[in-house]
Amino acid sequence: MVSLSATNQDVRPVFPFTAIVGQDEMKLALILNVIDPKIGGVMIMGDRGTGKSTTIRAIADLLPEIPVVADDMFNSHPSDLELMGDEVRNLIRKQEAVETRFIKVPMVDLPLGATEDRVCGTIDIEKALMEGVKTFEPGLLAKANRGILYVDEVNLLDDHLVDILLDSAASGWNTVEREGISIRHPARFVLVGSGNPEEGELRPQLLDRFGLHAEIRTVKDPTLRVEIVEQRSNFDQNPQSCIESYKDQQLDLKQKIIDAQSNLKNTNLDYEFKVKISQVCSELDVDGLRGDIVINRAAKALAAYEGRTEVTVQDIKKVVTLCLRHRLRKDPLESIDSGVKVAKVFDQIFEGS
């Protein structure tokens, strides 16, 4: 088995994640999702010009390189059967050697005008019928496997495409069927959507399927605004110098994420806390059980991130609003913010814990 390292990559400099000032809620939501992708992605809603795209690209750049089978269109893992395409899986089962290399975690942008074929991929029907060969042209879901799929202005994307993205993110697979011919490939990715609430919300049925929902607002503090502007100006003038000055912080955070991913399976959530989490969801009249499941996962991911094996009340408190604010039923006559409502019910139920 040959191992090659991805070198000489001609890529644009990316603003360091640790240099981003403020927007702690968005940064935490992204970190929790890369620690445990089963949380189900994050929807980021906020004002224009608040650094949504910059932050999402920065977290992808921060992550450690991943091993893939060389020249495989699905970024197949060289040893994990669940993260392989069928062709690679057959080679592994036959105990044939596969060439591997390391690549940066894929970061795929989905444009608003994308068609279903562009997203899912296409099968060459003529070649399949005439030559009996399945020829697959991979789409964005194939390229995003084991990475991050980012949809800016997701609230303006066709609902049918959003459904496809959410189904693939939840199942980890994408299936393309044309004229009785079917091809399936792994599509495990962290789905990140962003949008401006002024341009409309997603339908509740779709919004509910995002694991976390982060709200960001334009920074009002003048001192903080100046700091953000100066950071960006320094990066634009000399990106390499800016990246170098944050090198140690980037390495520390990268190691912290790697350790959390490794320790996640050893993190415990007390049964009493699980019951109270479900009480909170019930009291808030949250439909289904997604809210309960996501809070459990996010709290454990946060505990692992903080280097602990036991989830605390503070862990749950820190993630509960991220997990539930978008799952509450909207009452047009109610003036209270959904985040405040979640926090209020949480305090009532967990008080004295």
Which sequence positions are flagged as catalytic?
Answer: 290
79 phi/psi in degrees, rounded to 5: -135, -20
**Each residue of 172-187: b (16+ CB within 10 Å) or e?**
eebebeeeeeebebbb
The DSSP code for 128 is H
Q: Express the helix, strand and coil content of the chain in percent, nearest 5 each.
A: 50, 15, 35
Nearest alpha carbon to residue 301 among 28, 62, 58: 28
Beta bridge partners of 316: none
Burial of 23 (0-12, 13-18, 19+ CB in 10 A): buried
| Residues with Cβ within 8 Å of residue 287, at least 6 apart in sequence | 208, 327, 329
Structural contact between residues 15 and 235, judged by C-beta atoms closer than 8 angstroms: yes
Tokens of 135: 């020829």
Q: Compute φ and ψ for 117, nearest 5 degrees.
A: -60, -40
The closest of 209, 215, 219 to 197, measured between CA atoms, is 215
Of 248, 234, 293, 236, whose CA–CA distance to 269 is shortest?
Answer: 293
Closest among 14, 51, 86 to 240, alpha carbons compared? 14
d(CA 253, CA 266): 20
| SS3 at position 212 | strand
Euclidean distance between the first and final Cα of the chain, in Å?
53
